[in-house]
């Protein structure tokens, strides 16, 4: 793993983990800014929603599997409606689509999408989520190492 000796780089800030709350309460708001799924970085937004677009890219990025195609299917729509009813909030608080940026969704929707994309991705997302939920400090270190490596590759290429 690549570990810089001193803070030479202007790396993106990694927000500190917080206690995860069930959906019946308020969804958590401060996930790390990025986390690793396999060797891919997956972003979160300021509302704590996870990038379905990044999950899609981590799964190989086939056009037929794009987030918008999945969300339009009956099963995911029913799940999203149920989640909105259970949380007492609007569906718009659970999914944000921003043209040119991507689709961001509540963590439960992200887990369901990962399961639909592939069994391997589903396992990886579940593992990272559990590590995050239990406060695994090495998770943040892995993200910092990966971001530093990507930055170095861009810097010297």
- pLDDT digit string (tens) for 47-77? 888 899 999 998 888 899 999 999 998 889 9
**Domain membership flag for residue 40:** yes
**Domain membership flag for residue 1:** no
Number of domains within the chain: 1
**Of 124, 122, 103, residue with least CA distance to 53:** 103
| Cα distance between residue 94 and residue 105, in whole Å | 5
**Domain membership flag for residue 45:** yes
**Domain membership flag for residue 150:** no
**Domain membership flag for residue 130:** yes
**Domain membership flag for residue 103:** yes
**Highest mean predicted confidence (pLDDT) among 25-34, 36-45, 104-113:** 104-113
Query: 68 in the Ramachandran plot: left (φ > 0), alpha (ψ -120 to 50) or beta?
Result: alpha
Residue 39: predicted pLDDT: 72
Helix (H) or strand (E) holding 37: strand 34-37
Q: Which domain holds residue 90?
A: 34-135
Q: For the whole model, what pTM was predicted?
A: 0.66
Q: How many whole angstroms from its chain centre is CA 66?
A: 15
**Domain membership flag for residue 3:** no
β-bridge mates for residue 103, sequence order: 97
**Domain membership flag for residue 23:** no
């Amino acid at each position: 793993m690549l570990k810089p000796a001193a803070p030479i780089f202007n790396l993106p800030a990694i927000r500190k983990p917080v206690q995860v709350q069930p959906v019946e309460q308020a969804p958590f708001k401060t996930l790390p800014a990025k986390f690793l799924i396999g060797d891919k970085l997956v972003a979160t937004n300021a509302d704590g929603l996870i990038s379905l677009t990044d999950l899609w890219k981590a799964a190989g990025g086939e056009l037929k599997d794009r987030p918008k195609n999945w969300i339009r299917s009956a099963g995911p729509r029913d799940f999203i409606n149920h989640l909105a009813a259970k949380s007492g909030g609007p569906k718009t608080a659970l999914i944000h689509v921003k043209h040119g940026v991507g689709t961001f969704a509540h963590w439960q929707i992200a887990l369901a999408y990962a399961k639909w994309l592939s069994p391997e991705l589903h396992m990886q997302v579940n593992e990272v989520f559990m590590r995050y939920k239990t406060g695994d400090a090495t998770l943040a270190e892995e993200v910092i190492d990966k971001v530093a490596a990507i930055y170095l590759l861009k810097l010297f290429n």
